[in-house]
Amino acid sequence: MSVASDALAKRIRALVARRPEMVEKKVIGGIGFMFNGNLAVATNGKGELLVRVDPAKSASALARPGAFQMMMGQREMTGYVGVTPDIINDPDELRAWIKYAVDYVRTLPRT
């Protein structure tokens, strides 16, 4: 884990601490936060936030400040957007993105 990933995970932990349905797991390059078994948000080594979004609403998520299409190599990660550190440094923005992800993941079947 990187210092940036760990610092962001600490901030996320503080925001989701009262949610017993949130489980923290190590993921490639960072720390993931699972809601009812589905990845909601994750950190990465650059201090960016990976956010799970409804694929049908990706365009509106990408239109938000600091959002960008997550990639795995040359392939777009459908249903995931990234958010730049300058945006999520604002506690209200970080909280809003986590809520955005959880609101969507809550609609998915428990895994």
What's the CATH code of the domain at 93? Answer: 3.90.1150.30
Which residues is 43 bridged to in the sheet? Answer: 49
Q: Which range among 13-22, 24-33, 95-104 shows the weakest confidence by mean pLDDT? A: 13-22
Residue 65 has pLDDT above 90, yes or no: yes
Please report which residue ranges of the chain form alpha helices under DSSP H: 3-16, 58-62, 85-88, 91-105
The whole-chain average pLDDT of the chain stands at 93
* Tokens linked to 74: 């040359």
Q: Number of folded domains in the chain?
A: 1
pLDDT at 1 (0 to 100): 60
Instruction: Provide the domain limits for residue 49.
Output: 3-105
Task: Give domain status of residue 9, yes or no.
Answer: yes
Radius of gyration of the chain (CA): 13
Above pLDDT 90, what percent of the chain?
Answer: 78
Asked, for residue 90, whether it belongs to a domain, the answer is: yes
